[in-house]
Amino acid sequence: MSFHTSNSRTPLAPPEYTKIPTVSAGYDNEKHNGSRSNNASVNQSKFIRPEMADVPVQQAAGSTLPLVISKKKGGGADDSEDVNYNPFEHRKVEHPTSDMETFVHLLKGSLGSGILAMPMAFLNAGLWFGLVATFLVGTLCTYCVHILVKCAHILCRRRKIPMMGFADVAEQAFLDGPIGLQRWSRFIRFVVNTFLVIDLIGCCCIYLVFVGTNVKQVVDFYMEDGSEIGIRPWIAIITIPLIFMCLVRNLKFLTPFSMVANLLMFVGIIITFTYVFTDMPSTTERVGVADVVQWPLFFGTVIFALEGIGVVMSLENDMKTPTHFIGCPSVLNLGMGVVITLYTMVGFFGYLKYGPDTAGSITLNLPVEDKLAQSVKLMIAIAIFFTFTLQFYVPMSIIWKGIQHKIAPEKQNWSEYALRVCLVILCGAIAVALPNLGPFISLIGAVCLSTLGMIVPSIIELAVYHEDPGYGRCNWRLWKNIFLICFGIVGFVTGTYISILEFHAEFSQ
């Protein structure tokens, strides 16, 4: 899919809404390494929105750049669109990434703890249905990322903005769309950032459950019968040191923990594969197609595992050649092809190995009496523990940017620390209340990622294309996006409903 833009555009704008002049997107160099700036011929302070969520590209999961505000009628002479404007030539990135580096970052951002839950996804789909459905859902997720990035390129050219984050694209698309959508531009920004925060806070809660469950399994093996500690106390115990670790505000000090986490995760997964591929049963011993009632749990888990749409805009923004990110072939297609293949293999062979005994994380199926298996459980638990602090950084940054301006400067320092402590405690409380990995993962995937990964990109494309170049012959773009929106809504509703039923059944026991 190659990017094309029309040579002319004649918008039907309302009287109070006209085009935006060339602006530059700034980046807070005092807080983060690196800088982005661009010479502009207009006064930035007049158009740049100061309360934008400003999080570093390395942790990219939300808006990373300020967004211009629609200019009212009666602006200057620079109010016309420059069709020759190339946003990629105006990007000022201190250390741009090559195609290979972006490919590696995409793999790193997508290959997370979700891969450990893929066998459980196949348990809810069946061996053969899961094989086909994982590729189909992965393809849809990848296509929706294409939609988002392509619309970002179009909007950057129209509005002469060098780069945008996810929430930027959503808001600007609504400002650029039909008159009825323009009034909802701030709301769609709020929706995107809210769902990003909920998704990432939910991931932090899942991390706590994951660490607590694996540690409990190993410790219980050495405890006397009747003296085991429940999963909820373990989650509370693990939350305490995380409170202090999350008080670290500079990502530079967390980098060594990230390196250790990556190494432990890699070694742990490799050893896990040796257990999975040992004494593999026949495929005839497994269910080929599971009951349709279980499919929503499969959908939610796969979306949770595969969906990395929160990071793609920042990866694209940092590229040396952004046009290589989408297209055919492209960094996105190759990266997601590898990710989908790996996730499918883990899910297929993991379920084939453990069948109906498949747990919420494949590490929980490893023999607890085996010393090597115990080391794997602890290695991956430690890796996820360290990853919590990095994952926590993003929602904290988004929330703090949203409320910082409302707090007196002399109170901001201790207020930020208090917010960090409260958020970690909130994650711990949610994890204690919902310590079942399976429905929890499915719930987060269904609620947040079906919205961000399918519904929002489809709405964005409808808004961007409504006028120029239009929806195509027979309105094929309209019908295609309606299908994606309906698919996302069905996944949202059914996944949420089934997950809630699972939780209700658990609490009723």
pLDDT in tens, 307-344: 766 677 778 888 888 888 887 788 888 988 988 998 99
Q: What is the mean pLDDT of residues 220-236?
A: 84
pLDDT at 129: 95
pLDDT at 57: 35
CA–CA dist 42, 22 (Å, integer): 7
The sign one gets for the Cα dihedral 420, 422, 425, 426 is: negative
Which residues contact residue 494 at a Cβ distance below 8 angstroms, ignoring those fewer than 6 apart? 295, 296, 299, 446
pLDDT at 83: 59
Model confidence at 422, pLDDT cuts 50, 70, 90, reads very high
SS3 284: helix
SS3 487: helix
Cα atoms found within 13 Å of the Cα of residue 472, Cβ hemisphere only: 9
Q: What is the mean pLDDT of residues 220-230?
A: 79
- 178 pLDDT above the threshold of 50: yes
Sequence spans of domains, the chain: 97-508
213, 294, 349, 433 from 353: Cα distances, Å: 21, 20, 6, 31
262: its two tokens: 């990556």
Task: Name the residue among 401, 397, 398, 392 with its Cα closest to residue 427.
Answer: 392
pLDDT in tens, 70-109: 333 333 334 334 557 878 787 787 778 888 888 887 877 6
Identify residue 180 by its one-letter amino acid code. G
What's the 3-state SS for 51-115? CCCCCCHHHCCCCCCCCECCECCCCCHHHCCCCCCCHHHHCCCCCCECHHHHHHHHHHHHCCHHH
40, 52, 63, 173 from 21: Cα distances, Å: 9, 19, 21, 16
In the numeric block, the tokens 């809404």 are attached to 17
pLDDT at 162: 87
CA–CA dist 295, 280 (Å, integer): 25
166 contacts 310 by C-beta, under 8 angstroms: yes
CA–CA dist 23, 28 (Å, integer): 16
User: Both ends of the chain: CA-CA distance in Å?
Assistant: 51
460: its two tokens: 């964005």
pLDDT at 473: 86
pLDDT at 161: 86
Q: Hey, which CATH number is domain 97-508, 1.20.1740, 1.10.10, 3.40.50, 1.10.1060?
A: 1.20.1740
DSSP 370-420: SHHHHHHHHHHHHHHHHHHHHHHHHHHHHHHHHHGGGS-GGGHHHHHHHHH
Which residues contact residue 104 at a Cβ distance below 8 angstroms, ignoring those fewer than 6 apart? none
